[in-house]
Structure 1
Amino acid sequence: MKKLKIGLLLGLVFLQFSCKKTEYVESNPQLIINVISEYLVPVQGANVTLYNTEDDLYLKVDPIKTLQTDQTGQVFFEDLEEQRYYFYVEKGGLDNTSDVAATKNPIQSGQRFEVVVKIDEPIDY
């Protein structure tokens, strides 16, 4: 009986040290932008430029990054900061000036924010 207890105790100690401890690591915010045409068809090959501020967007200065949409009309920005983002989408003379150009709210850590953007004829200001 004594050998059984010692064996169980050694087994528990061995299990404790053989298990890997995992930690929850909160990921940085992520942003997915889906680009569609006026006919609600995904737009492949559109350039999506991400900006920190509304002024940067309108002046087209200091972009964070520019990505091109894939065959599903999507771009995926990751490792972002917690804030509101602004974006400009363009392809072949079409852009998003007539549609949404910013995340509604600041995106938070551990959050994947998704936006659908329609590109159409540009609006002159």
Structure 2
Amino acid sequence: MKKIKIIALLALIFLFQACNKTETELPAPQLQINVISKYLVPVADASVSLYATEDDWFLKQDTIATLQTDAAGKVLFESLEEQKYYFFVEKDGLDNTSDVAATKNALQIGQRFEVVTKLDQPFPLN
């Protein structure tokens, strides 16, 4: 009888510990890019390409993903890695090379980073 009580008590302890283990997984980093015109108006249907390195951005190679901005001029890249990202935005011969083209820091788990970039005449790279 004593063995049964001990086994029951141990089973309850294990059950109690299993119920209390609630690991909260934080979501992968997200990057929201808000595209505006030089008049500060949201730009719909702009193409936004995401890159992992500055070299890839400069050469426009190894694109992670490309999305179109919605009516509010926004795109959301989800399930990203913890790192710094570079992005190229273009529409109707305008792009963001004369404005913000990268996240300031590496993105973090559980974080949604937002950046605003402006479309304007391309910056001469020569």
Which TM-score band applies after superposition, normalised by the shorter structure?
Answer: 0.7 to 0.9
SS at match of 2:50: strand
SS at match of 1:66: strand
Unaligned regions of 5+ residues in structure 1, if any? 1-15
How many aligned positions are there?
A: 108
Task: Describe how 1:15-94 pairs up with structure 2 within 5 A.
Answer: 23-94=23-94
> Structure 1-normalised TM-score?
0.82
% of aligned pairs identical?
67
Q: Which amino acid aligns with 2:105?
A: N
Offset from partner CA, 1:44-93 (integer Å, 9 cap, x none): 00000000000000000000000000000000000000000000000000
Per the alignment, residue 103 of structure 2 pairs with 103
CA distance in 2, matches of 1:67, 1:22: 35
CA distance in 2, matches of 1:92, 1:56: 22
In the TM superposition, residue 102 of structure 1 has moved relative to its aligned partner by 0.2
CA distance in 2, matches of 1:103, 1:72: 20
CA RMSD for the aligned pairs?
A: 1.5
Unaligned regions of 5+ residues in structure 2, if any? 1-15
CA distance in 2, matches of 1:123, 1:76: 25
In the TM superposition, residue 23 of structure 1 has moved relative to its aligned partner by 3.7
In the TM superposition, residue 22 of structure 1 has moved relative to its aligned partner by 5.1
Please identify runs of 4+ aligned residues in structure 1 that moved more than 3 A: none
Q: Which amino acid aligns with 1:58?
A: F
Per the alignment, residue 119 of structure 2 pairs with 119
Q: Which amino acid aligns with 1:71?
A: A
